[in-house]
């Protein structure tokens, strides 16, 4: 989704695609296919570019350090990105900065997990420090499950993968009122701009819907959340867009606890395509190129973003005539991905008045569900 704004600004993109069918390759003419975990591939790819940036966090940190040593400009740099790659490093940094964390521990065995659960309370949220997304890599563990084969296999995975200290992250199960996202962008020279704090609604640990501004969010929590995201971006030296995912916990922490960090355009910021003067995709490009950041003001009082996952309709386009006619206010964005069950294949943005937020949600839901569930003709 950086490609349209790059083209508008005359910025030439080059994408290292995972496969010939990668959706970015369909919209970026120079898209060599290669393995982002292979340093030689990365070096070849980086030759001649002004800056290397990412749309996911999985490029090995040591390879990014090697690129930096070669003189390549990498944004965000590995010392910042590590906090989005490794949740234990992120927890340590949040503690170091005095920002509010849930209770947590790095655990290397079922015994240490039990010890943590006995003091933090059951169930415990067990996470792989690396490689997780959309809830993959997150497990709820009750006290009677600590010695299960599944928990043992997770610890084995930490050993096999060679993660730092072969540790997993154990967290208390936070009793939160909702999830929030504080989205900011920072350029290398240090200038930061923040968007309004969003509410993000998860279904089965996958972002389903985002509402901006977060309805009825107290001014204190909003200001503290924005300050926390700015501080994290500043002190970790983040360049580009960063989302701080937060648990709203009125009366605890600063009214929120930090969940995790993402250092790239993030699902909780897709609303900015239609709801903000500058979209997160444009802002990311501006930031990593150290160009002046654009205004993050809302262009409408409220925006609702609703994701659609792969469902029964394999041909999204087939749904357009009916959905576009029924929901003319819905802005449809698709990713050019083939439709697979539960794969994020697009989202819908709807803008309007704050007082009408439930109507905006209904429109967004109607359009997204209408595309996902559009009845496919029976094949003979």
- For position 133 contacting ligand ADP by CB under 6 A, the verdict is yes
Shorter beta-carbon distance to ligand ADP: residue 137 or 310 = 137
Rank residues 259 and 272 by Cβ distance to ligand ADP and give the closer one: 259
Among 135, 237, 301, 366, interactor with ligand ADP by CB under 6 A: 135
CA gap 95, 92 in Å, rounded: 5
Q: Which is nearer to ligand ADP, 179 or 274 (CB)?
A: 179
Subset of residues 97 to 116 that bind ligand ADP, contact rule: CB under 6 A: 102
Strand residues in 164-228 grouped as ranges (E): 168-172, 178-186, 192-194, 198-203, 206-212
Q: Tell whether the torsion through CA atoms of 3, 230, 183 and 258 is positive or negative.
A: positive
Task: Assess 138 for contact with ligand ADP (CB under 6 A).
Answer: yes
Site map for ligand ADP, 178-207, x if CB under 6 A?
-x----------------------x--x--
Cβ nearer to ligand ADP, comparing 175 with 378: 175
Answer yes or no: are the C-beta atoms of 296 and 278 closer than 8 Å. Answer: yes
Tell me the DSSP string of 312-363. Answer: S-S-GGGGHHHHHHH-TT-EEEE--PPP-BT-EEEEEEEEE-GGGHHHHHHH
Nearer Cβ to ligand ADP, position 174 or 287? Answer: 174
Using the rule CB under 6 A, give the single segment among 133-141, 157-165, 236-244, 362-370 that binds ligand ADP. 133-141
Q: Is the peptide bond before 75 cis (omega within 30 degrees of 0)?
A: no
155 HSE (CA, 13 A, CB side):
15
Nearest CA among 243, 263, 96, 228 for reference residue 184? 243
Q: Residue 179 Cβ, how far from ligand ADP at the closest point, in Å?
A: 6
Scan residues 255-274 and list those touching ligand ADP (CB under 6 A): 259-260
Q: Is 132 in the site for ligand ADP (CB under 6 A)?
A: yes
**Strands of 138-141's sheet, edge to edge?**
104-107, 168-172, 124-127, 138-141
Q: Does 131 bind ligand ADP (CB under 6 A)?
A: no
Q: Count of residues binding ligand ADP (CB under 6 A)?
A: 19
> CA-to-CA distance for 167 and 157, rounded, in angstroms?
10
- Alpha-carbon gap, residue 227 to 287, rounded angstroms: 19
Q: How far is the CB of 59 from ligand ADP (least distance, A)?
A: 17
Q: Is residue 137 involved in binding ligand ADP (CB under 6 A)?
A: yes
**Of the two residues 84 and 304, which places its CB atom closer to ligand ADP in the complex?**
84
Binding of residue 123 to ligand ADP (CB under 6 A): no
Least spacing, CB of residue 181 vs ligand ADP, in Å: 10
Shortest Cβ distance from residue 176 to ligand ADP (Å)? 7
Nearest to 281 by CA among 237, 356, 335: 335
Check residue 294 for interaction with ligand ADP (CB under 6 A). Answer: no
HSE-CB at 358 with a 13 A cutoff on CA atoms is 1
Tokens 């390879």 belong to residue: 63
Range in contact with ligand ADP (rule: CB under 6 A) among 45-53, 126-134, 153-161, 361-369? 126-134
Strands 344-352 and 124-127: unpaired
Answer for which of 125, 139, 324, 354 binds ligand ADP (CB under 6 A) is 125
- Cβ distance to ligand ADP smaller for residue 133 or 317: 133
State which residue, 122 or 320, has the beta carbon closest to ligand ADP: 122
Identity of the residue, 171 or 209, whose beta carbon is nearer to ligand ADP in the bound complex: 171
CB 209 within 8 A of CB 305: yes
Residue with token string 């009750």: 142
Distance CA 370, CA 380 (A): 24
Measured CA to CA, the distance from residue 180 to residue 244 in angstroms comes to 8
C-beta of 360: minimal distance to ligand ADP in Å? Answer: 22
Residue 68 or 125: the one with the smaller Cβ distance to ligand ADP is 125
Interacting residue ranges for ligand ADP, rule: CB under 6 A:
102, 125, 127, 132-138, 171, 173-174, 179, 202, 205, 245, 259-260
């Amino acid at each position: 989704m950086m490609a349209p704004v790059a083209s508008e600004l005359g910025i030439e993109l080059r994408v290292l695609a995972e496969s010939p069918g990668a959706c970015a390759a369909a919209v970026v003419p120079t898209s060599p296919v290669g393995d982002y975990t292979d340093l030689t591939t990365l070096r070849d790819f980086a030759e001649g570019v002004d800056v290397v940036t990412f749309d996911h966090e999985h490029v090995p940190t040591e390879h990014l350090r090697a690129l930096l040593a070669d003189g390549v400009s990498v944004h965000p740099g590995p010392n910042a990105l590590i906090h989005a790659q490794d949740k234990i490093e992120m927890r340590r940094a949040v503690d170091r900065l005095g920002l509010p964390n849930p209770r947590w521990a790095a655990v290397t065995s079922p015994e240490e997990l039990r010890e943590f659960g006995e003091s933090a309370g059951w169930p415990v949220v067990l996470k792989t420090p690396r490689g997780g997304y959309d809830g993959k890599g997150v497990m709820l563990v009750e006290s009677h499950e600590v010695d299960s084969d599944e928990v043992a296999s997770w610890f084995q995975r930490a050993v096999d993968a060679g993660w730092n200290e072969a540790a997993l992250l154990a967290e208390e199960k936070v009793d939160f009122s909702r999830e929030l996202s504080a989205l900011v962008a920072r350029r290398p020279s240090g200038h930061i701009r923040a968007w309004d704090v969003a509410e993000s609604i998860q279904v089965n640990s996958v972002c389903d819907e985002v509402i901006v501004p977060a309805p009825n969010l107290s001014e204190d929590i909003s200001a503290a959340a924005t300050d926390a995201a700015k501080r994290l971006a500043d002190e970790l030296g983040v360049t580009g867009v960063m989302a701080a995912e937060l648990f709203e916990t009125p009366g605890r922490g600063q009214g929120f606890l930090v969940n995790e960090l993402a250092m790239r355009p993030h699902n909780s910021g897709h609303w900015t395509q239609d709801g903000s003067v500058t979209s997160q995709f444009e802002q990311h490009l501006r930031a990593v190129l150290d160009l002046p950041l654009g205004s993050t003001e809302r262009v409408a009082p409220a925006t609702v973003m609703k994701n659609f996952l792969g469902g029964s309709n394999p041909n999204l386009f087939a749904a357009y005539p009916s959905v576009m006619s029924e929901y003319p206010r819905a802005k449809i964005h698709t990713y050019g991905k083939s439709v697979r069950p539960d794969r994020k294949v697009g989202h819908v943005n709807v803008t309007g008045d704050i007082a009408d937020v439930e109507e905006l949600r209904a429109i967004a839901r109607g359009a997204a569900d209408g595309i996902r569930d559009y009845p496919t003709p029976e094949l003979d």
